[in-house]
């Protein structure tokens, strides 16, 4: 259970509450959600098992895990390095959005949300994106918090907190869901989310659904390898992966079931883009009894969920600097941190850069990393070690062959076909 909560702390983050609703809105709902769920189940879960398994088998950090399972100078180590690059770029814009959540925490504390009209709430987001210093200031504050936690070595302490925060976040989402159910736009919102309208789905949308499955489950950059290295041989790896993926999907669906009814009730555009939750959720909170307290609680939890994910992302960068460049942990945090701060400026000041970096990381780098991990674990890793790891402590040991088969054929095939489809070749 401790492992699942820690892994869920990494998986549940802005991807679930901020990103999933907004890309679902942009892709017209319904069919996109279905493709996403299929990607989670058919590609995400098998790859998650592979990543955690590699971590537990090698007890190493991401890049070293590949190295320990291949010959010196082997190109397989490149998958690990690609993961480090993805982690570095991902943090550059993830921190910008986490900074928005911090700004909204501040707005909640100073009581600027409760009682506001929907227009005023929209004005708050417009004012935030219009002010470069505000955006950058909060982004740096969030990054400092992340680096501080990693440098001080209190990651485990934070994860312990996550054990309280994560279930509380779930409860709060249920409260908001209760409110959404009473709204005029409830039926329309749910229809948008689960109704089958395939005409809106494009090849780019399918790529985005696949990419988001990796993003939301924290896969494709080796981050879960780190979590696997904490796992003991008595733990049930496959069940833990399923539970982590299930929790993550539940939070994403809950967030969307809150966001879309609000959007339809207040005639807000579902395809409004990255600002969607920062407009919809405060609009509802502003109207609710106890809204000022609830909005503080919501945004504190959102920052917290972002923090546990950002720690997992930054860990990939620091572990690489420690293992491959021989830096001390503190030096690695400072060097890695400075590099992230520098690269964090463009996505924070330019929406075009933000979209570009997100597009590259989520839709290409993470699925490519996932493809590499799947092929490496299925085809390259020592077979006896792989089987032993899958079966050790597992109630699902009898599914070893099924999992391996899925990882060998359908997973790589799916990723390659979606890539080719996205560039128009199939």
Q: Which spans of this chain sit near ligand PHE (rule: CB under 6 A)?
A: 10-11, 13-16, 215-216, 218, 221, 223, 309, 312-313
Phi-psi region of 392 (alpha: psi -120 to 50; beta: other; left: phi over 0): beta
Report the alpha-carbon angle 344-359-263, nearest 5.
95
The CB-of-9 to ligand PHE minimum distance in angstroms stands at 9
Rounded CA-CA distance 360/369 in Å is 12
Q: 10 or 392, CB closer to ligand PHE? A: 10
* Structural contact between residues 251 and 216, judged by C-beta atoms closer than 8 angstroms: no
Q: 15 or 189, CB closer to ligand PHE? A: 15
Residue reference for tokens 């249920």: 174
Q: 179 or 212, CB closer to ligand PHE? A: 212
- Assigned token pair, 196: 């089958």
Distances (CA, A) of 356 to 51, 90, 168, 248, 328: 27, 11, 34, 25, 33
Q: 10 or 241, CB closer to ligand PHE? A: 10
The CB-of-59 to ligand PHE minimum distance in angstroms stands at 20
The CB-of-14 to ligand PHE minimum distance in angstroms stands at 4
Q: 121 or 281, CB closer to ligand PHE? A: 281
The CB-of-425 to ligand PHE minimum distance in angstroms stands at 28
The CB-of-246 to ligand PHE minimum distance in angstroms stands at 14
Rounded CA-CA distance 256/262 in Å is 10
The CB-of-195 to ligand PHE minimum distance in angstroms stands at 25
Q: 55 or 185, CB closer to ligand PHE? A: 55
The CB-of-163 to ligand PHE minimum distance in angstroms stands at 17
DSSP secondary structure code for residue 319 in this structure: H
* Structural contact between residues 65 and 77, judged by C-beta atoms closer than 8 angstroms: no
Residues 6+ apart with CB under 8 A from 178: none
Q: 404 or 415, CB closer to ligand PHE? A: 415
DSSP secondary structure code for residue 69 in this structure: T
Closest residue to ligand PHE: CB criterion: 15
The CB-of-375 to ligand PHE minimum distance in angstroms stands at 20
Q: What stretches of 40-154 show up as alpha helix (H) in DSSP?
A: 45-58, 62-68, 77-109, 118-130, 132-151
Q: What is the 3-state secondary structure (H, E, C) of 330-368?
A: HHHHHHHHHHHHHHCHHHHHCHHHHHHHHHHHHHHHHHH
Q: 283 or 308, CB closer to ligand PHE? A: 308
Rounded CA-CA distance 88/310 in Å is 10
Residue 223, judged by CB atoms within 10 A of its CB (0-12, 13-18, 19+), counts as buried
The CB-of-311 to ligand PHE minimum distance in angstroms stands at 9
Largest CA distance in the chain: 63
- Assigned token pair, 184: 């005029």
Rounded CA-CA distance 402/150 in Å is 38
The CB-of-74 to ligand PHE minimum distance in angstroms stands at 24
């Amino acid at each position: 259970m401790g492992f699942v909560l820690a892994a869920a702390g990494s998986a549940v983050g802005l991807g679930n509450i901020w990103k999933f609703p907004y890309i679902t809105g942009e892709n017209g709902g319904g069919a996109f959600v279905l493709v996403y769920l299929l990607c989670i189940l058919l590609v995400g879960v098998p790859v998650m098992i592979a990543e955690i398994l590699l971590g537990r088998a090698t007890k190493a950090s991401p890049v070293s895990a590949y190295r320990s399972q291949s010959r010196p100078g082997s190109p397989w180590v490149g998958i690990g390095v690609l993961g480090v690059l993805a982690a570095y770029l991902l943090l550059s814009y993830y921190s910008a959005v986490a900074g928005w959540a911090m700004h909204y925490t501040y707005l909640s504390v100073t009581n600027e949300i409760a009682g506001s009209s929907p227009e005023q709430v929209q004005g708050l987001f417009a004012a935030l994106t219009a002010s470069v210093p505000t955006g950058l200031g909060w982004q740096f504050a969030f990054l400092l918090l992340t680096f501080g936690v990693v440098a001080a070595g209190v990651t485990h302490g934070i994860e312990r907190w996550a054990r309280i925060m994560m279930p509380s976040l779930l409860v709060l989402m249920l409260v908001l869901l209760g409110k959404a159910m009473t709204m005029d736009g409830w039926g329309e919102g749910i229809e948008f989310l689960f109704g089958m309208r395939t005409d809106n789905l494009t090849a780019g949308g399918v790529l985005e659904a696949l990419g988001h499955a990796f993003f939301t489950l924290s896969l494709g950059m080796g981050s879960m390898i780190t979590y696997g290295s904490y796992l003991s041989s008595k733990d049930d790896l496959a069940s833990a992966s399923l539970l982590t993926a299930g929790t993550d999907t539940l939070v994403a669906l809950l967030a969307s079931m809150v966001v879309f009814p609000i959007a339809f009730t207040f005639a807000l555009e579902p395809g409004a883009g990255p600002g969607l939750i920062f407009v919809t959720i405060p609009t509802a909170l502003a109207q609710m009894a106890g809204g000022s307290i609830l909005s503080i609680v919501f945004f504190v939890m959102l920052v917290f969920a972002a923090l546990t994910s950002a720690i997992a992302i930054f860990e990939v960068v620091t572990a690489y600097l420690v293992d491959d460049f021989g830096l001390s942990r503190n030096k690695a945090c400072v060097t890695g941190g400075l590099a992230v701060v520098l690269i964090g400026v463009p996505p924070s000041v330019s929406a075009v850069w933000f979209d570009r970096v997100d597009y590259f990381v989520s839709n290409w780098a993470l699925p490519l990393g996932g493809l590499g991990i799947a092929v490496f674990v299925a085809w390259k890793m020592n077979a006896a070690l792989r089987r032993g790891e899958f079966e050790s402590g597992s109630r699902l040991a009898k599914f070893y062959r099924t999992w391996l088969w899925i990882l060998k054929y359908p997973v790589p095939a799916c990723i390659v076909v979606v890539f080719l489809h996205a560039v128009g070749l199939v």
